[in-house]
Structure 1
Amino acid sequence: MDPEPADVLARVEHFHDAVPRDAARAEDVGPLVLFVREGAGFPFYARPRIDGTAPPSAADIAAVRDRQRELGLPETFEWLHERQPGLLSVARSAGLTVLEAPLMVLDRAALPAPEQLSDVPVRVLSPSASDFGAALAVRRAVAAIGFGAPGTARGPAGPAERDATTVELTDEVLAEERIRARDGRRLSALAGTPQEGALASGMAMRVGAVAEIAGVATLPSARRRGLGAAVTAALAGRLLADGVDLVFLSAGSEEIARVYLRAGFRRIGTACIAGPTATLG
């Protein structure tokens, strides 16, 4: 029997609170917590405190934004709408733009094999592989090109743009990625052919028995070939095999959510991502 949606949402919320804590310090600002990354890497967000007793107000959001500006951080916030239903209107009244992203969980009985979704092979990266660092660099480049052209429509950007965007990882970043991959906290995948190289990529983050698939992207020139769904299915299958019992993701739009439906995911709620309009693009 599938768990109740409220139980799933509680586990997802605790995951989002836990993920930044091994790479960031947490600063409590009233009922919100701001995660400040220690060292290099993509900056984290602010979100409602797990132990908060009152809903955040517009003044609380303003206080966090002041602190984010003081630290030179993006003014971004994330939360689950079903867990904080009043925060959507508060965030908008505070001048933030809010993306309402479909929150989806894996129905393991509906998970297809990657080869049922695309004839392009998918490779889950091994941290012991000799090309692990090079493959991670390509994964990042594919994501940069893919997210630079949002949506599912085909476009001109392809392997040439991927290659021009690929940057070798520093020794420090590679060492951190290898550690996270070896202990199961990070999983990466690439889909591609020998002739074309990597065409789609994705990753997953894990805390205990919960994992989030994120960063699934396809080069615009390779879209409409089932690659995003195949990468998602490959990651989900590996996570289940490794003992994860809750796999979830947030889709960037209803259109993109349909891709994940093909990979065995179903919608259970809404993940809110807020920031100034320029930040959210």
Structure 2
Amino acid sequence: MDADHADLLDRLEQFYDAVPRDAARVEDHGSCVLFVREGAGWPFYARPRRGATRSPSLADLNTVRSRQRELGLPEALEWVHEINPELLTVARSAGLSVLEAPLLVLDPAALADPAAFTHVPVRLLTAATPTTAANVAARRAVAAIGFAAPGTSRGEAGPAQRDAALRGLDVAALDEELTRIANGSRLAALAETPDEGTLASGMAMRVGDVAEIAGVATLPSARRRGLAAAVTATLAHALLAEGVEVVFLSAGSEEIARVYLRAGFRRIGTACIAEPPTITPH
């Protein structure tokens, strides 16, 4: 690994460590750190502790997982493989299932024009634009439906399922997202038409000059129309315009990563997400 690559990965590691801290308390468990969310919202996870002198051991994983169970939290552990390569074997030896997600960073010179992918307009939600709870709810409802049907294949779920999902959203989580958009630490994008409403969405979290694009999702009925690539490119253009130097994301699969490669991203590593295996009932 050359020095520039190592420096880039270190900047991402600083981001991963910083982004949960304004909404969570932090517990150290050996070479792991556990972020425990304070208040409403999706629960956080454990990560290798930044600055630790060794990679997390099996004992560290067992300790932090026990604490997560005690707190009623998901037993989730995240890390970058290139920074903690030994952890993949340790996590699997602990019986965890590990998603190896392509980790990609934007090449600003290769960033595509969103209009190259679709004629559907993409609207930004930022501190400088009027943003309502209904806008945030639309983003989250599309994400809920989209992530319930992973991949890029078309499916049946569409606007009707999105609208039904609106009724089950956490009001406190909507308020938190509105607050973060208003203070500039988050922005979102919606691809929408007058007739169909919001069809795809995504958001970005920013800490200083580094930002992560996340939650990019398309309603299954609207897939294969270039919407995810357009949402991603729109967010990336906005982040660069705001002075962000490093824009990155992780993809759920190699298939999904190809969407981001077309938008101007390149692969730099692997983001690992470990959880207990899902037991499918017979």
Q: Is the 2:126–2:184 Cα contact (8 Å) retained in structure 1?
A: no
Q: What is the identity percentage for the equivalent residue pairs of Structure 1 and Structure 2?
A: 69
The equivalent of 1:145 in structure 2 is 145
Q: SS at the partner of 1:180?
A: helix
CA deviation vs aligned residue, 1:9-61 (integer Å, no higher than 9, x gap): 10001100101000000100000000000011100010001110011111110
Whole-angstrom CA distance in 2 between matches of 1:97 and 1:176: 31
Deviations 1:214-251, CA, capped at 9 Å, x for gaps? 00000000000000000000000000001100000000
Contact 1:104/1:250 (8 A) holds in 2: yes
Would the aligned equivalents of 2:103 and 2:267 in 1 still touch at CA under 8 Å? yes
8 Å CA contact 1:133, 1:169 repeated in 2: no
Q: In the aligned structure 2, how far is the partner of 1:148 from the partner of 1:172? A: 22
Residue 176 in 1 paired to residue 176 in 2? Answer: yes
What is the rounded CA distance, in whole Å, between the counterparts of 1:151 and 1:193 in structure 2?
A: 23
The SS at the match of 2:20 is helix
Q: Are 1:66 and 2:47 matched, yes or no?
A: no
Distance 1:65 1:248 in 2: 28
CA distance in 1, matches of 2:80, 2:130: 39
What is the Cα deviation at residue 174 of structure 1?
4.3
CA distance, structure 2, for counterparts of residue 261 and residue 32 of structure 1: 32
Matched, 1:228 2:225: no
Distance 1:171 1:123, change over 3 A: same
Say which SS state the counterpart of residue 270 (structure 1) adopts. strand
What does residue range 114-193 of structure 1 map to in structure 2 within 5 Å? 114-127=114-127, 132-167=132-167, 172-193=172-193
Query: 1:27 and 1:203 mapped to 2: Cα distance?
Result: 27
Judging changes above 3 Å, is the alpha-carbon distance between structure 1 residues 241 and 128 closer, same or farther for their aligned structure 2 residues? closer
Give the distance between the partners of 1:131 and 1:241, measured in 2 at CA.
Answer: 19
How large is the RMSD of aligned CA atoms in angstroms?
1.7
Match of 1:25 in 2: 25
Name the structure 2 match of 1:200.
200
Unaligned runs of 5+ residues in structure 2 are: none
- Structure 1 175/35 Cα, relative in aligned 2: closer, same or farther at 3 Å? same
Contact 2:123–2:189 (8 Å) recurs in 1: yes
Cross-structure match for 1:42:
42
For residues 71 and 172 of structure 1, the distance between their equivalents in structure 2, rounded to whole angstroms, comes to 20
Shift of 1:170: 6.4
Give the CA deviation at 1:180. Answer: 1.3
Matched, 1:253 2:253: yes
Which AA in structure 1 matches 2:34? L
Query: 1:88-108: CA deviations, max 9, x gaps?
Result: 000000110000000000000
Counterpart in the other structure of 2:14: 14
Aligned partners of 1:195, 1:131: CA distance in 2, in Å? 20
Q: Confirm or deny that 1:85 pairs with 2:93.
A: no
Offset, 1:126? 3.7
Partner Cα separation in structure 1 for residue 127 and residue 134 of structure 2: 11
| Distance of 2:65 and 2:111 partners within structure 1 | 40
Change (3 A) 1:31 1:154: same
TM-score scaled by length of structure 1 = 0.95
Given the superposition, is the C-alpha separation of residues 170 and 152 from structure 1 closer, same or farther in structure 2, using an over 3 Å criterion? Answer: closer
Q: What residue ranges of structure 1 are gaps of 5+ in the alignment?
A: none
Conserved in 1, the CA contact under 8 Å of 2:141 and 2:169?
no
Shift of 1:172: 4.5
Give the Cα–Cα distance (whole angstroms) in 2 for the partners of residues 167 and 215 of structure 1.
Answer: 19
Counterpart for residue 105 of structure 2: 105
Length, aligned pairs only? 278
